[in-house]
Each structure stands twice: as C-alpha cells, then as structure tokens.
Structure 1
Amino acid sequence: MTSGHDCDVLVIGGGIVGLSTAYALTRAVPGTRVTVLEKEHGPARHQTGRNSGVIHSGVYYRPGSLKARFAVRGAAEMVEFCAEFGIAHAVTGKLIVATERDELPRLHALVQRGRENGIPVRELGPAQIGEYEPYVRGLAAIHVGTTGVADYVSVARHLAEASGADIRYGAEVVQIDRRAERGVAVRTAAGDIVRGRVLVNCAGLHCDRIARLAGDDPGMRIVPFRGEYFELARPELVRGLVYPVPDPAFPFLGVHLTRGIDKSVHVGPNAVPALALEGYDWSTVRPRELGATLAWPGSWRIARRHWRYGAGELRRSVSRDAFTSAVRRLLPAVTADDLVPAPAGVRAQAVLRDGTLVDDFMIREAPRTVHVLNAPSPAATASLPIGREVARRALAALGS
C-alpha cells in the first residue's frame, strides 16, 4: 500500500442518504474529492427505490428531534430540488383518519404535535372528509397540506450527477482498515483497494456490519422489516394520500393509501420480519443474516413485548382477506379483487440491545469516521438536511 489517498471522503452506500452526503460535501467545499462505493449496479436499489414515494410533512415526529427538524425542512427542500431538476413530484396533501373512538385522542395529539413542528393542520369532521376523499369514511380526520409524492430514484440519480463525485457501482466493501496512516482503506469484493482520509457509512441495511468492519461497536443491530404493498385496481377510489392514526409505540405508520406520481395507488405497507436483510419475499432466506438477527437480544425482547401487534401483521401477510379488512376501515368500497400484489420494500430498523426500536435518526462518530446507523422513513424526505449534517461532521473530521 502507498501512503496516498484516492479521495478526501469515502462514502459507503449509494442510496439517497449517501448520495445526498456526496452532494452536500462538494457543494460545501468545492474541490473536495468524494468517492461513493455502492455494491449494487445502480443507485437507490433498496430503501430509496422501494417505498411509496411520499414527501412526509413531519407531523408525526417528536418536536426537536432530528426527524422532526429534518423532515419539515427537507419536505420544502425536496419540492424545490425536484422543481429545479425537472423531477416528477406533486404536493397533494394527505388525510390522517380516525375510524375508532379510541383513536380520537391520538388524532388530537397529532394536531398539537403538527402545530409544535410548525406544520399547518386542519381538523375535519366526517362530512368534511368526503370533500377531500369521497370514498373514505371516518369519525374525524386531519388534513396536512404539505405532504406530497416524488420520484426518489430520479432524485438519487440527479444527486449523483450533480455531486461530481466518483460513483463506483458493483463495489461491495468486505474489509476496512482504519490503521492506514492518517486515513482509511477499504477492500471491495473484487479485490480493489480504495483509500480515503475520512469514511462515511451510509450503508442502510448493512450499516451495522460496516461499522463493525471499521472496528466500531454500533450498540445496535439492523433488524429488517419487510413492507408488503398492493396496488389498487380501481385507483379512482383515492384522490391523494390517506393514512390511519398510527400507534405511537411503533415507528410504522400502518396500512395507508398513496396515489403516486404515475397516478397509481399503492396500498400498504404491512410490516413483517424479513428473513434476510434484502428479504423482499418469504422465499428469500439467508441463514447467516437470519441467525445474526435471532442472536441479537433486542430481537427477542421486541417479540415478547409486541407479539400481539406482530401476529396481526403476520396474519395480514398470509391472508388477502385480512389485509383487505384493514384497508376497508378507511376505504369501505375496497374488495379483495381490488388488491394487486406490488413490489415489497425492507425497512432498515435499528434495534438496541434492550429491544428499543430506535425512533430518531442515529448518526455516530468515530476516529475519521461518521456512521449513519438509523435512517429509515422519512429519510428520503429529509435526505438533503441529513446529507448536510453528515457532510458537516465528515468535513470536521477531515480538518482535524
């Protein structure tokens, strides 16, 4: 090995967060040499490209948290970015609908939270729901006007191009050496060695493994949850976005209805444990990855604590009728024949040893390294502010 560096900042992960970080680095300090290593043969192949494409308003998130601050700011910036680069997007607004009386206090709490986060929220009665969504039924709802949809794969591609970074696809990282003098060296599966002065870990589903390869204990594990989707055969039943009132004990938002930029309507996701980090169906099982999940104490603590919730999700996964019943709470006109299977996604959910599902974005620093350890939804919405925050920390490490 020579003592030279191929780049100033070496980013692992070519999803929207990694590419936004590269974009932020080169805009903050022009001339910064950035290399991005992505194991797939194109950008945004996992979380970024396998979600419902929602631009989240930030209404759900604890005031003052990174999620709240970055989502509110990021939603406005994402709309501006899409407009600047001609990327398909729309600000549609959304309804969050209470269908049971015990959901009403949680709905009212969301109104308060939205206002604390600076988000315009309108409260609706049953008749007013129909003004927005004629086929949706509920006891009460709130309308959040700043929610929208975007083509996040196109966003990722434009970030990659606009960053000017050296993007290397098909480059899976298998070894990291942080003992290299004044820098970090990584080896790819193809045997290539890439050296950087600072390492940024934006590896999503694999971020905990990358942290351990770097010699750091992340204090968490990624426990993958598959989000299962359907497409609505009668998209005319939904005008925009319709959500249930979420359970605050979980980071999942429940089965919802999303009219995308292509005018199709996605229904989901149902959230079930995945049997591999990239386990997009029940037939994809990777024993080593599944074994690592089962060996993590937090996985068993989640199961003991939330088994009733999990049982309901599993039932909807194997029963079309059960899934249809969940949708009919919001949209009574739906039948099982209206639901056409659509591609699934996997959420990279960080779980602590005690079984806590990490709620906020988690960014940790180590010598010459920045790790992004929890960045599921709304990370796509918040990707531009997240990228600036990670870039700020990387540049500080670069100057130290």
Structure 2
Amino acid sequence: MTERIGIVGAGIVGLAIAQALARTGDFDVTVLEKEARVATHQTGHNSGVVHAGLYYQPGSLKAELCARGRAQIREYCREHSLPYRETGKLVVALNGDEVPRLDEIERRSRFNAVPGLARLSVERLRDIEPHAAGVAALHSPHTAVVDYAAIAETMANQIRKAGGRVLLNQEVTAVQTSAGACLVSTAGTTHAFDRLVVCAGLHSDTIAKLVGASDSPRILPFRGEYWSLAPERNELVRGMIYPVPDPAFPFLGVHFTRGVYDEIHVGPNAVPALAREGYSWGRISVRDTWESLRWPGAGKLARDHWRMGGKEIAASVYKPLYFKAAQAFIPELRPSDLTHRTTAGVRAQAWARDGSLLDDFAVDQVGPVTVLRNAPSPAATSSMAIAEHVLSRYLGIQP
C-alpha cells in the first residue's frame, strides 16, 4: 500500500519536502496550509536573497545545507524559467573596530568554500559600490536574488502535477498519533497519514505541543521592517551592501538589497513582534505576548540584549534613527530617499528555556512525526537541501 505522508505548512521548506516526496512517485503526499495561499508568511516576506554561506559556523547544518541549497535553487530557477540574478554582496567594515569581525567572517567564508570570495581594499570596494562607505569589505559575487514566492507557487504546482495535494485553508487544530499513524484535524475534516512532517514556521512550537514534543524551544517572533528607496535614487546601490554583524545578536542589521525586479529595499531591523503574525505595531496578541513574557528564558534574554533591543525599537518608531543607521553605509543618502515602509516580515526565532536564541537548524522526531523546530535564514536558500536532509535522516528515504 502507498504510504501516506502529510506536510503541515506550505512555506518553501514544507513545499520542498513535499515536492521531493512527490517526485519519487512512491508516496501519497498532502500539504496542509492554514492560509488561503502558499508562501504567506516567512517565504513571502523576506528580501529574496540566495545566500552564499558567508556567516555560518563551519560544520553546522546551516553551512552544509546552504552550500548545496544555493546550487539547487539556481538550477530550479533555470529549469522553470524563474528569475535568478547574481547581483553580488559586499559585507562592509565601517571602521577599524569592525575589521577583526570581518576577518572572522572571511575565515568562515573560506572554510565554507564561498565561491568567488574576495577581500577588498577601500579602492576596490568603491569600484563595486561607488557610493558605499567603509574601510574594508568582503565581496561575494555569486550571492543572488530570486522571487521565493514564485518558487513556492511553482513547487506547489509541481506537487499537484505529480499527484500530490496542496490543501489551503486547512489550519491544524489537533493531532493524534499511535504506532505508525497520525490523525490530523482541521476545520471540519480529519486527515489520516502514516507519517507527518511539521514545517509550521511561526507556529512550529504550537504544532509540536499538539504532537507531544518538548515545549522547548519556543518561537519568539521578531518583526523585520523595510523601507523602500526612491526609484530615482536607485543608482546608489548596485547589488547588496551589508554590515558586519554583531556576533552577540542573531540578526544582520540594516542593509541594502537590490531585488530581483530592481526594487531596492533598506532593512530589515529586528524588533520583538507582539503577535506571532505581528506585521505591525498595531497587530497585538495578548496571548502570544504573555507566553513570551512568562517563558523561563525571558529575563536572561532581556538582560543580555536590552541595549540592542532598545535601539531597534527606537529606530522602528522614529524614522531619523533608522535613516541614520542606513546613512552610515551610503553617506549620500537623504531622509527623503526612504519613501515608505514596505511589507514587513516576521522571523520565527527559536528560543530555549535558558534564554539563548538557537542559531542552527533544529529538527525533532516524535514517533511518526518529524518537526522542524528552527529554520531561520538561510532556510529559503537551503530549502531543497533541507528536504533531502529530512528525507534521508528522519524519514529513511533516499531522495
């Protein structure tokens, strides 16, 4: 009998897993998505960057799967005539104090075999990005941009063509498991599977609780807010200009990205969201906020990151502070060049009971259920490699 495998979540990772299963022809595959379309949340709200692997700890899953996933995404876009542009990325040290951190990124990048990586002097930096400030930089010429929502839609269509199902408006409300079987309840319907894979992003801990997994890590939502650069000022940025990240904080800081359709967005910052789907300050969930405040690690997180958190919140509510952070990299930038806020994104950051923020991909296995507990950036870049990893290591299937 054909094995029935369910996937919870139609973001790019869930769809990549479903597509890999459907391609084999040996499984009955069903994706359950609570929204009315695929790629509604993290997949459809990111900057579209295909990462080359600069930042990730050598030997980590992020480093391994990003390298493989980047090549797979590039080939997938070529195969399906989807846009893929290698605009390149500069990681810029603004002053001498940041150079040692740039050195560490270079060390990691070379260990991770980032293709074409080059260390640049000020002169070479300006050759690539004439309007950028900085005393030194790393250049990753093969960092690219894509339309991840379009990739997700294509994956969904491929799943359907292979005989699988992508069912929308199917929010999971209960999961019952027994020896080798799962009953998954949605509004008015119960779906029976032999195995289940949970790729629920912002709600991964909620679904994990339904299947009896540990309550740790919890999801702490962070909103990233973008500003749009005035089209007549697009010449200020040729590709991507990134800061040297602070290793004590799991976010990159405000940066510039020329998107796949030539729009340039500035950001994101990272502020605690007041709801799992808190795409603005006006979107508040008392329940979500209270659950975050009462989590055992809340006090330590606040003590460790209150200064950075305060700066991010201040820049969110007061545009001149956001502008100042951006102008540090493009001195010619004017306040009027940041014309309007674009659609914000919310990152599902896994958060341990001791207050630490998980950095690497994390997967749990509970009987017949596989749960992706942490899939932050570069999960979209790595999506097809994550699918292979889950199939081979947790499902015992060779993709």
In the alignment, which residue of structure 2 is the partner of 1:262? 261
- Quote the Cα distance in structure 1 between the aligned partners of 2:388 and 2:215: 22
Answering whether residue 4 of structure 2 is matched by residue 8 of structure 1, we say yes
| Aligned AA (1:346) | V
Deviations 1:68-111 (A, max 9, x none): 01111111111111111011110111100000211000101111
Deviations 1:165-191 (A, max 9, x none): 211000000011113x63000111x22
In the alignment, which residue of structure 1 is the partner of 2:374? 374
- Does the aligned pair in 2 maintain the 1:218–1:373 contact within 8 Å? no
Q: Shift of the alpha carbon at 1:393?
A: 4.0
- Does the aligned pair in 2 maintain the 1:47–1:376 contact within 8 Å? no
Cα distance 1:392–1:377, how it changes in 2: closer, same or farther (>3 A)? same
- Does the aligned pair in 2 maintain the 1:201–1:370 contact within 8 Å? yes
- Quote the Cα distance in structure 1 between the aligned partners of 2:364 and 2:158: 26
| Aligned AA (2:86) | V
In the alignment, which residue of structure 1 is the partner of 2:311? 312
User: What pairs up with 1:289-368 in 2 under 5 angstroms?
Assistant: 289-339=288-338, 340-368=340-368
> In terms of mean alpha carbon deviation, does 274-283 or 156-165 score higher?
156-165
In the alignment, which residue of structure 2 is the partner of 1:142? 138
In the alignment, which residue of structure 1 is the partner of 2:108? 113
- Quote the Cα distance in structure 2 between the aligned partners of 1:130 and 1:397: 49
- Does the aligned pair in 1 maintain the 2:228–2:342 contact within 8 Å? yes
Q: Shift of the alpha carbon at 1:158?
A: 1.2
In the alignment, which residue of structure 1 is the partner of 2:208? 211
Answering whether residue 95 of structure 2 is matched by residue 97 of structure 1, we say no
In the alignment, which residue of structure 1 is the partner of 2:122? 126
| Aligned AA (1:210) | I
| Aligned AA (2:138) | I
Deviations 1:352-396 (A, max 9, x none): 000111000011111001110100111000000001112224532
In the alignment, which residue of structure 1 is the partner of 2:153? 157
- Quote the Cα distance in structure 2 between the aligned partners of 1:299 and 1:128: 44
User: What pairs up with 1:190-201 in 2 under 5 angstroms?
Assistant: 190-201=187-198
Q: Tell me the TM-score normalized by structure 1.
A: 0.95
Deviations 1:29-83 (A, max 9, x none): 3231111000001100000000100000111000110100111111111111111
In the alignment, which residue of structure 1 is the partner of 2:282? 283
Structure 2: runs of 5 or more not aligned: none
Q: Shift of the alpha carbon at 1:397?
A: 8.7
Deviations 1:119-176 (A, max 9, x none): 1321111111111111111111110122010000011111112233211000000011
Q: Shift of the alpha carbon at 1:26?
A: 2.1
Q: Shift of the alpha carbon at 1:298?
A: 1.8
In the alignment, which residue of structure 2 is the partner of 1:271? 270
Cα distance 1:218–1:390, how it changes in 2: closer, same or farther (>3 A)? farther
Q: Shift of the alpha carbon at 1:282?
A: 0.2
- Does the aligned pair in 2 maintain the 1:35–1:166 contact within 8 Å? yes
- State the 4+ residue runs in structure 1 displaced beyond 4 angstroms: none
- Does the aligned pair in 2 maintain the 1:22–1:391 contact within 8 Å? no
| Aligned AA (2:71) | A
Answering whether residue 22 of structure 2 is matched by residue 21 of structure 1, we say no
Number of aligned positions between the proteins: 391
3-state DSSP of counterpart to 2:308:
helix
Structure 1: runs of 5 or more not aligned: none
3-state DSSP of counterpart to 1:322:
helix
Q: Shift of the alpha carbon at 1:262?
A: 1.0
What RMSD over aligned residues (CA atoms) do the two structures have, in Å?
1.5
| Aligned AA (2:192) | R
3-state DSSP of counterpart to 1:370:
strand
| Aligned AA (2:15) | L
In the alignment, which residue of structure 2 is the partner of 1:58? 53
- Quote the Cα distance in structure 1 between the aligned partners of 2:72 and 2:193: 30
| Aligned AA (2:68) | R
In the alignment, which residue of structure 1 is the partner of 2:387? 387
3-state DSSP of counterpart to 2:63:
helix
Q: Tell me the TM-score normalized by structure 2.
A: 0.95
- Does the aligned pair in 1 maintain the 2:68–2:382 contact within 8 Å? yes
In the alignment, which residue of structure 2 is the partner of 1:186? 184
Deviations 1:333-358 (A, max 9, x none): 11221112111000000010001110
| Aligned AA (2:193) | G
- Quote the Cα distance in structure 2 between the aligned partners of 1:228 and 1:55: 19
| Aligned AA (2:180) | R
- Quote the Cα distance in structure 2 between the aligned partners of 1:154 and 1:390: 23
- Quote the Cα distance in structure 2 between the aligned partners of 1:395 and 1:377: 23
Q: Shift of the alpha carbon at 1:253?
A: 0.9
- Quote the Cα distance in structure 1 between the aligned partners of 2:89 and 2:135: 16
- Quote the Cα distance in structure 1 between the aligned partners of 2:167 and 2:347: 24
